[in-house]
Amino acid sequence: MKQPVVLGLSGGVDSAVAATLLARQGFAVTGLYLDIGLGGTGAADAAAVADRLGIPLKIADIRQELEWEVCAPFAAGYLAGHTPLPCAMCNPTVKFPALFRLAEEIGAQYVSTGHYANVENGVLKKGRPANDQSYMLARLTRRQLQSVIFPLGNYEKREVRELAREFGIPVADKPDSMEICFIPSGDYAAWLEAHGFSTPEGNFVDKEGNVLARHKGIHHYTLGQGRGLGVSGPHRYYVSAIRPETNEVVLSDGTDLGRDVVRGAQPNWIAVETLTEPMEVTVRLRHSRTEQEAVLSPEGDGIRLDMKTPARAPTPGQLAVFYQGDAVVGSAWIV
């Protein structure tokens, strides 16, 4: 009898190819479409893929969980002057738990998605460099990762599209979804305002507190931002601090954005049980392929990163992900 697996089937090309690869490896795939209540073609595309592959498709309404675990913290983060990372919040608290619930119902040991990453013996590892998504998955727990399969970990996106055409998948040429799923327009500030989470106008100030201009509300800005400020002066300005307590956005020439030390809270350990002594790592401080060398140390309930070269504008609310080679050691929220 084929081993059952639950796959998150979004209606996009990645999950469709993942489903096909799993089926060809001998798994009995059940697709799960996660409904967030925004309509669109996702559910229909997922149904078309499931029909083409001859696999069952279930639908889970995750609107309430998404609101509690992602949308509300997302809004609260911006009100606190942070820059939240909703996908990294969603994976361990909403998306994968929904997959595991269905897996338990049907007696499946494994769940799967179309992410570009790998898992070996419960340790999260990078996918191919061009499309690696290990950063956004680094809040998954060791326990969750023990039961996860990522079929696309050794592929690049161009190869996946080629496979989709070869397999006759109906969404082979569907464009990638780049935006936050619950903000399809991509305008997060407009979403915050529409949901009653906007902040009032205030002052742009320099480091000495001198008023430079007026800003539109702190939720429009992030640390290190240099575009869209609308402030002229003797040099280009960058956001060097956000002060929600005074509703001020501090601007500078950018030379003060480097940090030799970065601190993080709520560490999630993956390749180690816990951290008891300093460790040499590379670290990603935002969703990019840039890694920097650092010494990772425990510090109270959190962590400390002593950077070998200064990190530019490590941003509260973003994720610090620690690597040794391809393996994800763990992650922590930047504070």
In a domain, 306, yes or no: yes
Spot the catalytic one: 90, 108, 136, 328. Answer: 90
Domain count, the chain: 3
Say whether both 237 and 271 belong to one domain.
Answer: no
pLDDT of residue 42: 86
Q: φ and ψ at 31, to 5 degrees?
A: -85, 145
Question: In this structure, is residue 178 part of a structural domain?
Answer: no
What is the rounded CA–CA span in Å between residue 273 and residue 279?
13
Other C-beta atoms closer than 10 Å to the C-beta of 324 total 14
Secondary structure of 132-184 in HEC code, one letter for each residue: CCHHHHCCCCHHHHCCEECCCCCCCHHHHHHHHHHHCCCCCCCCCCCCCCCCC
Residue 310: domain span: 258-334
Q: Which two tokens mark 80?
A: 């606190």
Q: Which of 48, 60, 181, 213 is catalytic?
A: 181
**181 is annotated as an active-site residue:** yes
Give the Cα separation of 135 and 332 in Å (integer): 11
Considering the domain architecture, whether residues 8 and 147 belong to the same structural domain is answered as yes
CA dist 161 and 48 (Å) reads 17
End position of a domain, from candidates 252, 278, 296: 252
Q: Domain holding 227: CATH number? A: 2.30.30
Residues 246 and 263 in one domain: no
Query: How many residues in total does the chain contain?
Result: 335
* Shared-domain flag, residues 9 and 150: yes
Would you give per-residue pLDDT tens digits along the chain (335 residues)?
A: 799 999 999 999 999 999 999 999 999 999 999 999 988 888 999 999 999 999 999 999 999 999 999 999 999 999 999 999 999 999 999 999 999 999 999 999 999 999 999 999 999 999 999 999 999 999 999 999 999 999 999 999 999 999 999 999 888 888 887 678 999 888 999 999 999 998 999 999 999 999 999 999 999 999 999 999 999 999 999 999 999 999 999 999 999 999 999 999 999 999 999 999 999 999 999 988 899 999 999 999 999 999 999 999 999 999 999 999 999 999 999 99
Residue that finishes a domain, picked among 122, 149, 167: 167
- Both 139 and 236 in one domain: the answer is no
Which pTM does this prediction carry?
0.94
Q: Which H helix or E strand runs over 64? A: helix 63-66
71 is catalytic: no
Claim to verify: residue 12 and residue 123 sit in the same structural domain? yes
Do 115 and 215 sit in the same domain of this protein?
no
CATH number of domain containing 282: 2.40.30.10
The single-letter code of the amino acid at 302 is G
Residue 213 lies in a domain: yes
Q: Which of 263, 272, 264 is nearest to 324 (CA)?
A: 272
The single-letter DSSP state of residue 216 is: S
Does residue 66 share a domain with residue 44?
A: yes
Q: Is position 190 within any domain?
A: no
